């Protein structure tokens, strides 16, 4: 533009001035237009950045899923004593870990992945240290800290699950406490409420971090978070040779205990998968659970079986949880 103005010459000064003035105004208009466009773009960007409340012209970015507790939404609001858990008898005594005359086929970890949320476990001390054995560590053994630590790792990876344990403790209380602390389970322990007081809901257990009930059979005094099993549980007999022998009679613990253990397996005298395949099916297990529910006036807290992979344990537990809600 400046080269063009020199060629016009002085005689056309007025024309030059007019042209310069027009050019300046045109440049200002363009600049204002560009600035306005940028301002409009910035305003649009800011408008996009403002979250519009759901129901006011926009859809939420994501739908918040309901929390599931032990795999079900409806269990979250129930107190712990209103929930039915799938359990295993002599959980550590399994074929996969090489136990003689095992009660289960699968490892503790595999049982957890299959839906087991209650375990009856025996603890011992031998020359190698703290162990999970059954009867004798010569007949099968796993390292207690490692195995319980694997359970703790499962719970860490599955933060909306709650569990219960009954330990047949053949070790000193100090060893039991040390074992549970070393494994990580003690840090998750639920201290039962005083008699007559309500149990926390499953959701409250999850939110507080106290989502594992740890109990022991020896009755030796221990921490509040590791009570004697029969101070909170009542159970059925467990020495049944035939399905016809099943009973809901009170065995250990008093009839008014807040939690209930249904022992459901056949021993003749050793555990056999063939028996489990018969008594773990829904047509046998569910009617017996209902019978004991009627006898107790409350549902079982733990339904414990041998060879949990045979039959219908988890579907029966689901059916019982459905019936609790009715």
pLDDT in tens, 90-99: 999 999 999 9
Percent of the chain with pLDDT over 90: 78
Evaluate whether residue 152 is within a structural domain: yes
Let me know whether 147 and 292 are in one domain.
Answer: yes
The reply to whether 168 and 33 lie within a common domain is no
> Hey, is 302 helix, strand or coil?
strand
Give me the pLDDT at residue 65, please. Answer: 63
Please give the tally of structural domains in the chain: 2
Give the residue-averaged pLDDT of 46-60: 44
Q: Are residues 44 and 102 in the same domain?
A: no
**Could you tell me if 233 and 261 are in contact, meaning their C-beta atoms sit under 8 angstroms apart?**
yes
The reply to whether 206 and 85 lie within a common domain is: yes
Residues 199 and 281 in one domain: yes
The C-alpha angle with vertex 98 and arms to 94 and 99, in degrees rounded to 5, equals 60
Q: Domain range holding 44?
A: 2-49
Distance between CA atoms of residues 245 and 146, nearest Å: 38
CATH assignment at residue 132: 3.20.20.190
pLDDT for residue 1: 40
The answer to whether residue 294 is domain-embedded is: yes
Instruction: Tell me the per-residue pLDDT of 134-170, one tens digit each, with 9 for 90 and over.
Output: 999 999 999 999 999 999 999 999 999 999 999 999 9
Residue 210 burial (10 A CB sphere; 0-12, 13-18, 19+): middle
Q: What are the φ and ψ backbone dihedral angles of 33, each rounded to 5 degrees?
A: -65, -45
- Domain shared by 13 and 140, yes or no: no
Domain assignment present for residue 90? The answer is: yes
Distances (CA, A) of 174 to 143, 146, 221: 17, 18, 10
Task: Point out the domain boundary residue: 12, 31, 49.
Answer: 49
Residue 168 lies in a domain: yes
Furthest-apart CA pair in the chain: how many Å? 127
Closest alpha carbon to 249 in 235, 267, 228, 232: 235
Residue 55 resides in a domain:
no
Does 245 share its domain with 314?
yes
Per the domain annotation, does 57 fall within a domain? no
- How confident is the model over 186-227, as pLDDT tens digits? 999 999 999 999 999 999 999 999 999 999 999 999 999 999
Q: Please report which confidence band the pLDDT of residue 67 belongs to, taking 50, 70 and 90 as the band edges.
A: confident
Closest to 306 in 3D by CA, of 276, 261, 270:
276
User: Do 171 and 211 belong together in one domain?
Assistant: yes
H/E stretch holding 179 reads helix 173-183
In a domain, 103, yes or no: yes
CA neighbours closer than 13 Å in the CB half-sphere of residue 44: 6
Q: DSSP 3-state assignment of 234? A: strand
The answer to whether residue 56 sits within a structural domain is no
In percent, the amount of the chain with pLDDT more than 70 equals 80
Q: Are strands 118-126 and 163-169 parallel, antiparallel or unpaired?
A: parallel
Q: DSSP code of 195?
A: T
Band (pLDDT 50/70/90 cuts) for residue 70 is very high
Radius of gyration (C-alpha) of the chain in whole angstroms: 35
33 in the same domain as 98: no
């Amino acid at each position: 533009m400046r080269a063009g103005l020199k060629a016009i010459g002085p005689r056309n000064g007025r024309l030059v001035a007019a042209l310069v003035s027009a050019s300046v105004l045109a440049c200002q208009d363009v600049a204002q237009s560009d600035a306005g466009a940028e301002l409009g773009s910035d305003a649009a960007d800011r408008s996009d950045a403002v979250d519009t409340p759901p129901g006011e012209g926009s859809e939420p970015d994501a739908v918040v899923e309901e929390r599931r507790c032990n795999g079900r939404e409806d269990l979250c609001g129930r107190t712990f004593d209103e929930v039915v858990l799938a359990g295993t008898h002599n959980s550590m005594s399994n074929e996969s870990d090489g136990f003689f005359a095992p009660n289960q086929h699968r490892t503790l970890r595999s049982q957890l992945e299959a839906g087991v949320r209650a375990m009856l476990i025996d603890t011992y001390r031998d020359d190698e240290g703290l162990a999970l054995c059954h009867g004798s560590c010569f007949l099968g053994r796993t390292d207690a800290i490692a195995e319980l630590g694997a359970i703790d790792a499962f719970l860490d990876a599955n933060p909306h699950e709650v569990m219960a344990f009954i330990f047949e403790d053949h070790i000193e209380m100090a060893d039991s406490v040390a074992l549970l602390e070393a494994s990580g389970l003690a840090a998750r322990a639920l201290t039962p409420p005083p008699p007559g007081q309500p149990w926390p809901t499953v959701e409250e257990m999850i939110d507080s971090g106290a989502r594992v009930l740890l109990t022991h059979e020896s009755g030796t005094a221990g921490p509040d978070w590791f009570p004697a099993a029969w101070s909170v549980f009542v159970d059925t007999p467990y020495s049944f040779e035939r399905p016809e022998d099943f009973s809901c009679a009170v065995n250990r613990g008093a009839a008014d205990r807040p939690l209930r253990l249904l022992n459901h397996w056949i021993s003749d005298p050793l555990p056999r998968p063939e028996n489990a395949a018969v008594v773990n099916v829904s047509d046998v297990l569910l009617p017996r659970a209902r019978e004991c529910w009627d006898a107790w006036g409350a549902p079982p807290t733990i339904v414990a079986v041998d060879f949990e992979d045979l039959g219908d344990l988890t579907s029966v537990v689901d059916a019982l949880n459905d019936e609790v809600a009715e």
